[in-house]
Amino acid sequence: MSEGMSNALLEAMSCGVVPIITDVSGASDIVEHERSGFLARSHAEYCGLLLRALGLSEAERDKMARRAVQTIAARFSMESVATRQMRLYATLMQKALPCAR
């Protein structure tokens, strides 16, 4: 069993945590490398990114944390998710209507 989208990642980013993640399903679609977090493609790169994150200045870390919060607010707020769902339902209904006739 695997998790398609990490709730822990979404929750952490919404709290201003700068994530350092591996390139797993869903996560790489959320984190913008070096903008809202760090995305490692290997274990060696992950270790390097840990050191790099530790070396960030407070201003750099705060900027990335704000971007992480903004990413989650823009893409995963109740309003934005509901809007996308309503658009999907409208599209599906339009496609289904010709069959109902």
pLDDT digits (tens, 9 = 90+) for 44-88: 999 999 999 999 999 999 999 999 999 999 998 899 989 999 999
The model's confidence at residue 26, banded by pLDDT at 50, 70 and 90, is: confident
**Is residue 57 included in any domain, yes or no?**
yes
**Is residue 43 included in any domain, yes or no?**
yes
**Is residue 1 included in any domain, yes or no?**
no
Q: d(Cα 74, Cα 76) in Å, to the nearest integer?
A: 6
Residue 42: CATH number of its domain: 3.40.50.2000
Angle between helix 7-14 and 58-76 (nearest 10) = 120
Q: d(Cα 49, Cα 23) in Å, to the nearest integer?
A: 13
**Is residue 85 included in any domain, yes or no?**
yes
The pLDDT value recorded for residue 2 is: 58
> For the chain, how many structural domains are there in total?
1
The pLDDT value recorded for residue 27 is: 86
User: In this structure, what token pair is assigned to residue 45?
Assistant: 């790169």
**Is residue 50 included in any domain, yes or no?**
yes
Q: Tokens 């990114």: give the residue.
A: 49
